């Protein structure tokens, strides 16, 4: 009942798609669609996070391996809860999943969610370094919300920062939100970290992000989470035919 959908991610300057984020979905036959926020918490409470992550890695990597993206420069992002950074199991799991699917690690980004909940940052930093050693990129998800989000950012070896949609959604109406995003873009540039804005819902927001020099974005305006085949159709529209600005 658990499966993945994929939300495309775009380079802002060129409006080209460079990858997609895998997002877990659960359709319960009785209850219908269960929100990920709910079932991920449930998984954690009953000790099923490892099983969920294993399934996400296996399904996501296999889907890409069996798609035209396998031969293209296309990045797959997958979410991992930072609560899994307490031991090295996640490194083994990732390494085995990559080998099984035959996907090159440099085409994979791991988005760390819930970094505010890490108990031992020193240990988490070592675990993440080992993940990086495999060749994947590491992203700080939902940046800017939750407790002490600058501390994990300081201590952990991130390659990417995803600005939480709280700030992105207010870009048009809130000068403070705009300044925060502007500074995060500068921070990313100075540290050589890719900055990706999440939750872009309209063209106005897209244009502000572009004017601020934000390199990457995802959101309903650019593409909703969808089956990987649909991501590929969109890819051929925006990247191959190079249809330029104007519509999502
Ligand atoms: P996230 O990683 O920050 O994922 C982005 C969420 O924002 C997704 O919600 C996506 O559907 C939603 N979103 C994307 N664009 C827009 C937009 O323009 N407007 C609005 N309002 N929302 C947008 P979703 O799929 O409900 O996932 C919620 C969270 O559940 C994810 O947040 C992530 O933290 C977690 N999650 C999802 N899949 C997995 C997974 O496989 N493993 C783990 N550990 N966590 C997952
Ligand atoms: Mg994410
Ligand atoms: Mg996020």
Q: How far away, in angstroms, is 115 Cα from ligand 2 center? A: 12
Q: What is the pTM of this model?
A: 0.95
- Return residues with CB closer than 5 A to ligand 3 (ion): 141-142, 198
Residue-by-residue pLDDT tens, the chain, 248 positions? 899 999 999 999 999 999 999 999 999 999 999 999 999 999 989 999 999 999 999 999 999 999 999 999 999 999 999 999 999 999 999 999 999 999 999 999 999 998 888 889 999 999 999 999 999 999 999 898 876 578 889 999 999 999 999 999 999 999 999 999 999 999 999 999 999 999 999 999 999 999 999 999 999 999 999 999 999 999 999 998 654 554 44
Token pair 């920062």 in the structure block, residue: 161
Residue among 109, 113, 140 whose CB has most ligand 1 atoms within 8 A, to mutate: 113
Ligand 1 contacts CB of residue 23 (under 6 A): yes
CA 113 to chain centre: 9
Q: Give the closest ligand to the alpha carbon of residue 219.
A: 1
User: 108 with 78: CB under 8 angstroms?
Assistant: yes
Q: Which ligand is nearest to the CA of 143?
A: 3
Mutating to test ligand 1, I would choose from 36, 115, 196 the residue with most ligand atoms within 8 A of its C-beta, which is 36
DSSP secondary structure, 112-178, as one string: EE-GGG-S-HHHHHHHHHHHHHHT-EEEEEEET-STTTHHHHHHS--SEEEE-HHHHTTTTT-HHHH
Q: Which ligand neighbours the alpha carbon of 163 most closely?
A: 3
Is 90 strand, coil or helix? helix
Phi, then psi, of 160 in degrees rounded to 5: -145, 150
Asked if residue 198 lies in contact with residue 162, where contact means CB atoms within 8 angstroms, the answer is: yes
């Amino acid at each position: 009942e658990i499966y993945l959908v994929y939300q495309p991610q775009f380079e802002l300057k060129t409006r080209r798609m460079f990858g997609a984020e895998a997002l877990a979905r659960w359709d319960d036959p009785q209850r219908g669609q269960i929100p990920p926020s709910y079932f991920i918490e449930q998984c954690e409470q009953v000790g099923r996070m490892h099983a969920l992550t294993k399934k996400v890695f296996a399904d996501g990597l296999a889907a890409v391996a069996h798609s035209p993206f396998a031969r293209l420069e296309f990045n797959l992002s997958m979410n991992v809860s930072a609560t899994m950074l307490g031991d090295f199991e996640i490194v083994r799991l990732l390494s085995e999943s990559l080998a099984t699917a035959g996907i090159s690690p440099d085409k994979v980004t791991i988005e760390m969610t819930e970094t505010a909940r890490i108990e031992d940052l020193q240990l988490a930093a070592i675990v993440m370094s080992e993940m990086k050693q495999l060749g994947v990129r590491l992203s700080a998800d939902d940046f800017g919300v939750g407790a002490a989000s600058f501390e994990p950012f300081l201590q952990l070896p991130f390659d990417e920062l995803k600005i939480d949609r709280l700030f992105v959604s207010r870009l048009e109406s809130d000068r403070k939100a705009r300044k925060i995003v502007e500074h995060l873009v500068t921070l990313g540039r100075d540290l050589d970290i890719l900055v990706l804005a999440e939750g872009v819902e309209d063209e106005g927001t897209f244009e502000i992000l572009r004017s601020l020099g934000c390199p990457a974005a995802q959101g309903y305006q650019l593409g909703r989470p969808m089956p990987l085949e649909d991501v590929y159709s969109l890819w051929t529209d925006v990247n191959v035919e190079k249809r330029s600005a104007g519509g999502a």
